[in-house]
Structure 1
Amino acid sequence: MIEALLLTTVPVGTYAGEQPLTNASGFFFERDGRLFLVTSRHVLHDEATAHHPDRVVIDLHDDAGNIASATGFSLPLYRDGTPLWRQGVDAAGEIDVAVLEVERAALPPTTLYRAFSPQHLLGRLDQVEVGSSLLVVGFPLGFRDTLHHLPVVRQAVIASSFGLRFQGQGYFLTDARTHRGTSGAPVVMRRAGPDADGGDLPWLLLGVHSARLDVGGRDLVADEALGLNCAWYADILLTLTGA
């Protein structure tokens, strides 16, 4: 038995033509019969680092009877020069989350995956307390179970008031050990209450991991890194996946 949570998340490799560029994480989100790959916006396009891939490749399990069987699936990022992904903006500026629609008909018919949906999003922000235990599911430094093509999880806790946008931005902070390659990973919390053990995917999708947060004046020799990270609120997915 493979835990459903591990089947929501896939490695995302970015390419310019045949040239590999970076590795990241992403996860599936479905709404109204449509399927989307969710990742960080800077994975798909980042002016600051002159990062301009034209496609991404994700690994898909293609045989439910053999979890070690997987295939690469390429998704173009542009059509006739127009970006195919959607990204968000709010009053504070750009949101580092992007979604790319996946044509279900193009997937191998035996593809094995799980997807989050609107029912996995929080109803109210005050349902979550600071210090709550979380998981970040992804591929740090591209690391994975190479035989079974599965992600790993890192433990985290909420490190800022979940009901308040940190410094006015659309994210909250997590305290977790993360690395490059984790960008775009889902940040989840186990459901609590009467339905905690029900369903195939008993998790709440709280956020999308973006980047580590650091202090500009930190002494790189004397001071350890903060170990804090930005996770953009997952409710932006309702906007990005709307008709």
Structure 2
Amino acid sequence: MPTQRGYQIDLAFLITTPVHIDGPDSGGTGFFFHIDTNSYLITAGHVLADRERDRYGEEPKSEIRQDPPEISYFLRDTGDIKNATRFTADLSSDQRTWGFDPDGADVAAIRIDENLTPLSDFFQRDEEDEEHQYASFSLTERQFIGSDNLLTDRVFTLGYPGRLYDVQTMFPIRRNALVASPIHFEFEGEQRFLTDARMDPGTSGSPVLVDPSQVIHPWGEHLSQTHEAPVLLGIHSGNFPLVESPESEDAGLRDTRYSDLNETWRPEAIIRAIREAVSG
């Protein structure tokens, strides 16, 4: 995608943040989402609650409130996007709106106090429009893949693999991936699909994205967008384990018990998690 207004960077790099839980050594990746008048931090559910799949709901949420983590995320300065300021959200506060997807997808949504400009709106704004407060941007439901079709199996993720990223600028690492199962069909009866990519610890919660030029409507017309915001295919959850772990004396930086096939939850889980957060 092209750069915009002197940022000299693909603006998709400005929608993500590291998510730290009670310190910098645990957590994952998050990205920003805007709906109605509120902005949310979206991440994988297991980043907040170390639970097996299908075990999200009131039980882990109650446990988190009893032993509350303080999560931190980072927003970029408009004057210099290399500068990222740390913000925190206390999940034990009754004033903090957050929740998991009630349908069991590994997705969580946390409302943040800051109001972030949707990336699609930023592309369309005029020079005389009011200046945005942060150089971190959000996605909206308009970027969901929906029933549209992909022209490619090549997609990408933006995340934070452990400490293998520039901790000074907080820019995410882009990983190219392949769609490994049909995204519009349930994998093993659940609202998810697989990608084929090397994803490391710390990337849970990364957005799985594709350029809008690679998407067409079901009736065959190309996606009509006046902006260059990427299309959101889903939320990366984690690697699938191998049936048998390969023998290795030194696993190195990567856990060889896991394959390069990854679980990706469809983006509609975001809306369900937000509704659960607001109603709860």
Please report the TM-score for the alignment, with normalisation by the length of structure 1.
0.83
Q: Which residue of 1 aligns with 2:246?
A: 219
Unaligned runs of 5+ in 2: 1-7, 53-62, 117-131, 217-221, 250-255
1:54 aligns with 2:53: no
CA shift in 2, pair 1:220/1:235, >3 Å: farther
Percent of pairs with identical residues: 28
Q: Which residue of 2 aligns with 1:74?
A: 88
Instruction: Specify which of 150, 161, 169 is matched with residue 128 of structure 1.
Output: 150
Q: Which residue of 2 aligns with 1:87?
A: 100
Q: Which has the larger share of strand?
A: 1
Letter in 1 for 2:182: S
Letter in 1 for 2:233: L
Q: For each residue in 1:123-153, what CA deviation from the matched residue of structure 2 results, as whole angstroms up to 9, or x when unmatched?
A: 316x137x61111101111332333221110
Query: Secondary structure of 2:227's partner?
Result: coil
Aligned mates of 2:210, 2:224 — CA distance in 1? 11
Matches within 5 A, 1:141-180: 141-180=162-201
Q: Which runs of 4+ in 1 moved over 6 A?
A: none
Letter in 2 for 1:40: A
Aligned mates of 1:167, 1:61 — CA distance in 2? 39
Aligned mates of 2:257, 2:169 — CA distance in 1? 35
Aligned mates of 1:196, 1:10 — CA distance in 2? 29
- Cα deviation, residue 175, structure 1: 0.3
For these two proteins, the number of residue pairs brought into alignment is 230
Letter in 2 for 1:210: S
Q: Which residue of 2 aligns with 1:8?
A: 15
8 Å CA contact 2:44–2:236 kept in 1: the answer is: yes
Unaligned runs of 5+ in 1: none
Q: Which residue of 2 aligns with 1:199?
A: 227
- Cα deviation, residue 225, structure 1: 4.9
Query: Secondary structure of 2:178's partner?
Result: strand
Q: For each residue in 1:165-189, what CA deviation from the matched residue of structure 2 results, as whole angstroms up to 9, or x when unmatched?
A: 1111221100001100000000001
1:23 aligns with 2:47: no
Q: Which residue of 2 aligns with 1:39?
A: 43
Letter in 2 for 1:124: S
Q: Which residue of 2 aligns with 1:113?
A: 136
Aligned mates of 1:121, 1:42 — CA distance in 2? 22
Aligned mates of 2:11, 2:115 — CA distance in 1? 22
CA shift in 2, pair 1:74/1:162, >3 Å: same
Letter in 2 for 1:148: T
Aligned mates of 1:56, 1:116 — CA distance in 2? 21
Name the stretch that deviates more: 192-201 or 136-145.
192-201
CA shift in 2, pair 1:113/1:30, >3 Å: same
Q: For each residue in 1:177-216, what CA deviation from the matched residue of structure 2 results, as whole angstroms up to 9, or x when unmatched?
A: 1100000000001112555773152x11011000101223
Instruction: Specify which of 176, 183, 186 is matched with residue 204 of structure 2.
Output: 183
Please report the TM-score for the alignment, with normalisation by the length of structure 2.
0.73
Aligned mates of 2:257, 2:88 — CA distance in 1? 39
CA shift in 2, pair 1:221/1:147, >3 Å: closer
- Cα deviation, residue 161, structure 1: 1.7
Cα RMSD, aligned residues only: 2.9
Aligned mates of 1:168, 1:61 — CA distance in 2? 39
Aligned mates of 1:147, 1:21 — CA distance in 2? 16
- Cα deviation, residue 220, structure 1: 3.5
